[in-house]
Amino acid sequence: MKDLLRLLFLLLAVTVVRVAGEELTESFTGWSDSAFAGVSEYLGRDGVRWETGQATADGLRPRDEGGTSIRFDDEGAPYLVAKGLDGEGFDGGIGRVSFWYRHWDGDGRKIRFVLEYNVDGTGWQTAAGASVTTETEFQRLSHNLNLPNDNIQLRLRTLSNPERLIIDDFTIAPYAADEGKPLIGFQRARSRHQEEEGRVRIPLQVSRPGKARVAVSIVGGTADEDDFRLETASLDVAPDSAAPAVELSLTNDGEQEADETIIIRLEQAEGAWLETVTHTVIISANDSPAVAPSDDLLVIASANITSGNHQEYLEHGERIFRALDADVIGVQEFNIPGGESEREWVSRVFGSEFHYMIEAGEESIPCGIVSRYPILQAGEWDDPQVPNRDFAWATIDIPGDVDLHVISVHFHASGGSPSRAIEAGVVVRKVKATFPSDDYVVLCGDFNSTSREAAEIAKLKEVFFDQNQPVDQNGNGNTNANRNKPYDWVMPNAALLALHSTYSIGGRDFPNGLVFDSRVWQVPPEPVRREDSAAVNMQHMAVVKAYTLPGE
């Protein structure tokens, strides 16, 4: 029986790598000390060392009969650490961690905990997307760490209500960059649909050809069972199959009601890794003008978040784009790695419903714009200071009677503020001559400015405003990689400024907008990993602001 269980959970278990290429699952069956005081060590399977603080063995509530689980105590700050063979950590890298967890007594006090890792004693970091809230039935967390390092320790730590958290069958799989399994996940974290659409498709993305099966379930939301039906209980993915998608049937009940949500989760993957495992479907009912939303939130971002050696949008920037979930994005250095077209990249990262423009020509680091809403017109204005990009602009048909005009710019870095002031003057003249002053206009860009009082900023203030200065959680508004200069901006004109609103992400509200740096999040919003903003040659931090549009 134990051999069978080990085989069933081979792909999803989390443990320490004892020999290169070997996977190990710790079931805690041999955990003998039933009453730890303070901090204690347990020598587990194959000599793996575990450290506990205020945790006990529990033979009554394991995931499988006849075993033992670990139960966290209700006092102090209990934790469980996997320390490796020598107590210094696991060598050879860790690919994936998996374990089963639940809250055993059903008293309604949900327990929140996190999975953390420590590489070579540099400090604990929370694994992106691995902040978990328990239910009373056993659930499995399977998380891709993909750390190729040595001396890696893992830790489970409670954040709230630690009493009676149960952990069992903890497995660590070795790092294997060439293992060949595809990554499967939702293309985006949320989507909006009208209930009269009937059957809707929520597309997934698959990183490489492969054969896999993924289970699909509904795990929450405000919609009732009568409002929808899940048509896809599981997905089979094959190398020659069409792009996979989860399908829902929505019920058009004719009632006047507010927006409702459905939260979908991917789980129990066979033959694949999972990431971006949850997706929120927002259902709008347009049965009469009386129930149409009275306003609509428009989220605008500016981003120069290329990385790597060729100023391209790699996986790090892509994950940040998905997490921000902006409606309109001014993109700088709009370079896509070879093998994928711009249309394919926009559909994969933002969604197939998104529109885009990119300045024409052979510029090496062009500017562009991506939009959830249709682009009515687009073009570019010459940048007189640099030869490898121009100023891109687009007129967008946002909800309501007023259009939005977006300009995406990337000002001269080495020319200093005098050079950037010339560029700013061109932008101001073009905006005044091209767009009605009572339309909504926003300037998104990498200004390369060293201060908010620079000459180029003063020139731009003839049209645009800097009243709401975005910051990160620590109050830092600088956006370059070293976080000491305000390079990146979202600047509205007067008409759009009047609609400024709070931007919310990851359970946090940012009244003046956000400078997004994954490194300052304890638990970054999915699918971001904490190290994304520290990727090799990551240019800058994205800037985001939100505006509440008046109802039609």
Residues in the chain with pLDDT < 50? Answer: 1-20, 34-35, 178, 287-295, 552
Q: Would you state the pLDDT for residue 65?
A: 65
User: How crowded is the C-beta side of 182, counted as CA atoms within 13 Å?
Assistant: 20
Tokens 């645009």 sit on residue: 464
Side chain identity, residue 380 = E
Close Cβ partners of 30 (under 8 Å, ≥ 6 residues apart): 44, 45, 68
The superfamily in CATH containing domain 183-291 is CalX-beta domain (2.60.40.2030)
**Alpha-carbon torsion (444, 448, 452, 458), positive or negative:** negative
Domain boundaries in the chain? 2-174, 183-291, 295-550
CA-nearest of 429, 377, 433 to 403 is 377
What is the rounded distance in angstroms from the CA atom of residue 213 to the CA atom of residue 191? 23
**Alpha-carbon torsion (442, 448, 452, 453), positive or negative:** negative
| Cα-based distances in Å from 388 to 343, 382, 384, 414, 456 | 22, 10, 11, 14, 20
CB atoms within 10 A of CB 122: 9
CB atoms within 10 A of CB 500: 18
Close Cβ partners of 162 (under 8 Å, ≥ 6 residues apart): 54, 72, 73, 74, 76, 77, 78, 111, 113
Residue range 501-515, pLDDT digits in tens:
989 888 788 989 999
Cβ-based burial of 526 (10 A; exposed 0-12, middle 13-18, buried ≥19): buried
Cβ-based burial of 205 (10 A; exposed 0-12, middle 13-18, buried ≥19): buried
Q: Is 546:538 a contact under the CB 8 Å cutoff?
A: no
What is the rounded distance in angstroms from the CA atom of residue 205 to the CA atom of residue 182? 10
The class level of CATH for 2-174 reads mainly beta
CATH no., domain 295-550: 3.60.10.10
What is the rounded distance in angstroms from the CA atom of residue 297 to the CA atom of residue 546? 7
Q: Residue 351 is encoded by which pair of tokens?
A: 């969604």
| Cα-based distances in Å from 315 to 153, 305, 327, 337, 455 | 25, 10, 20, 11, 35
What is the rounded distance in angstroms from the CA atom of residue 384 to the CA atom of residue 433? 18
Pairing of the two strands 245-250 and 152-160:
unpaired
CB atoms within 10 A of CB 260: 18
Phi, psi of 501 (to 5 degrees): -140, 170
Cβ-based burial of 16 (10 A; exposed 0-12, middle 13-18, buried ≥19): buried
Produce one character per residue of 375-398: b if its CB has 16 or more CB atoms within 10 Å, e if not. beebebbebeebeebbbbbbbbeb
Pairing of the two strands 165-174 and 152-160:
unpaired
